[in-house]
């Protein structure tokens, strides 16, 4: 059975399998340049660390389904956010999702090279979602090295600057792609969704951010803001 990975922007993805949806690292658009407000539906939300670009749980409307419905075995690895070994920006969690022989890895804002035990745990993933934009995480060249070490079949870049989206300090996906020697290894898609199958081709899958209009049935109703003006207060009193 195939699995879908949908890029919702920045480091946020929706992973769908067997009718179950997990959203990883929802972002707060008030702090992430260019992205619109995030409002999606899911059965479960995972957060790698408590920074505004990754912990906007309020943007995910949960279904209330029991944990027993989740088809994934989920584990984590704690890694430093930056080269100062967590003394500056703390730590973040790499999430590993496994189901029916598939293994997906969300690398979060990995800030240092992996040690041998971590490489062993992450090795041979079917898909690795990798921070390609540097700033306070690994720079593009070092992120490529981490990809080489874990030998993921498919690499999906995330957390980079494109157009007016993402922080101005972030590198672009082109900076990351530059370090892959074979241009044909870079696959550029006109969709925000990648389908994971047993026979998929090894590649760097550069997805296209399409915004909330492409979220489909993932989109959640936008909450109506309470009226705070004097007129709004008078109208509420009259209800």
Q: 216 vs 9, 58, 213, 220, CA distance in Å? A: 15, 19, 7, 9
Residue with tokens 């075995």: 73
What average pLDDT score do residues 90-111 get? Answer: 91
**DSSP H or E stretch at residue 116:** helix 116-122
pLDDT reported for residue 79: 87
Cα-Cα-Cα-Cα dihedral of 78, 83, 89, 92, to 10°? -20
Q: What is the pLDDT of residues 71-80, one digit of tens each?
A: 999 999 998 7
Q: What is the pLDDT of residues 123-178, one digit of tens each?
A: 999 999 999 877 677 888 889 999 999 999 999 999 999 989 987 788 899 999 99
Contact (Cβ atoms closer than 8 angstroms) between residue 165 and residue 133: no
The helix/strand/coil state of 201 is coil
Answer whether 0.95 is exceeded by the pTM: no
What average pLDDT score do residues 24-28 get? Answer: 94
Q: Name all domains of the chain by residue range, CATH numbers in brackets.
A: 3-237 (3.60.15.10)
Which residues are CB-contacts of 227 (< 8 A; sequence separation ≥ 6)?
A: 233, 235, 236
């Amino acid at each position: 059975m195939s699995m879908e990975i949908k890029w919702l922007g920045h480091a946020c993805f929706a992973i769908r399998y067997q009718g179950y949806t997990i959203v990883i690292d929802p972002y707060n658009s008030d702090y992430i340049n260019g992205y619109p407000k995030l409002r999606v539906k899911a059965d479960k939300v995972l957060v790698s660390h408590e920074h505004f670009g990754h912990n906007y749980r309020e943007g995910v409307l949960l279904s209330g389904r029991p944990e027993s419905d989740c088809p994934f075995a989920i584990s984590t690895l704690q890694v430093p956010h930056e080269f100062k070994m967590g003394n500056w920006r703390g730590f973040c969690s790499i999430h590993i999702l496994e189901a029916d022989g598939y293994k997906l890895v969300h690398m979060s804002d990995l800030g240092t090279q992996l040690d041998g035990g971590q490489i062993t745990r992450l090795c041979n993933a079917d898909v690795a979602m990798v921070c390609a934009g540097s700033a306070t995480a690994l720079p593009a060249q070092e992120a490529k090295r981490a990809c080489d070490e874990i030998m993921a079949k498919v690499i999906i870049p995330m957390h980079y600057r494109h157009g007016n989206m993402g922080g101005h300090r972030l590198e672009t996906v082109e900076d990351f792609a530059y370090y892959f020697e074979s241009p044909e290894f870079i696959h550029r898609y006109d969709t925000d969704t990648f389908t994971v199958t047993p026979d998929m081709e090894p590649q760097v899958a550069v997805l296209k951010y399409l915004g909330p209009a492409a979220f489909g049935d993932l989109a959640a109703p936008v909450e109506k803001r309470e009226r705070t003006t004097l007129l709004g207060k008078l109208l509420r009193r009259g209800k």
